[in-house]
Amino acid sequence: MSEDVHAAEVTLGRIETEVALLMRLGEATRRGTGTMEHRLLDRAAYVILRHLDAAGPQNVSALAARLNLDGSTVTRQVSALQRDGLISRTPDPADGRGTVISTTAAGLQRMAAVRAARTRLYGDILAAWPEADRETLADMLHRLNEALDARNRRR
């Protein structure tokens, strides 16, 4: 094995470890944060509401496809969000048998509170980082998420 190949494998191993730690520590940080805002929504509800806010109303199938989740999983999550008054269902104008899901004012308000709390948290965590490093981190995380999303869409 050449030194270049070995170095590339070591780097990929470091990336794998750091991503695994990021996911574990991110969840532990969310659970361990004492503020109420962090507990207003679970992770799945937050992701669904963020997506609906960005992409607009859509049916469960489109939502499941975009989030790379099974339709039955999204249906359960959407039902819970509807019970809590955070989303609403209306007849799908393109398919009378289906429904379109959209956020409610309460859902948007709760999502915004969680987002603001998370933004403050990361502001505190990264306070000592130079702005250029924060920008680089944001850019690299965006690129990683785009690559992961593209790979999931090819499956």
| Model pTM score | 0.82
Average pLDDT over residues 94-104: 88
Q: Which pLDDT score, from 0 to 100, does residue 1 have?
A: 67
> At residue 34, does pLDDT exceed 70?
no
Judged on CB neighbours under 10 Å (0-12, 13-18, 19+), 143 is exposed
SS3 4: helix
Q: Which pLDDT score, from 0 to 100, does residue 38 have?
A: 62
Q: 147 falls in which pLDDT band (50, 70, 90)?
A: very high
> At residue 119, does pLDDT exceed 80?
yes
Nearest-angstrom CA–CA distance, 75 and 56: 17
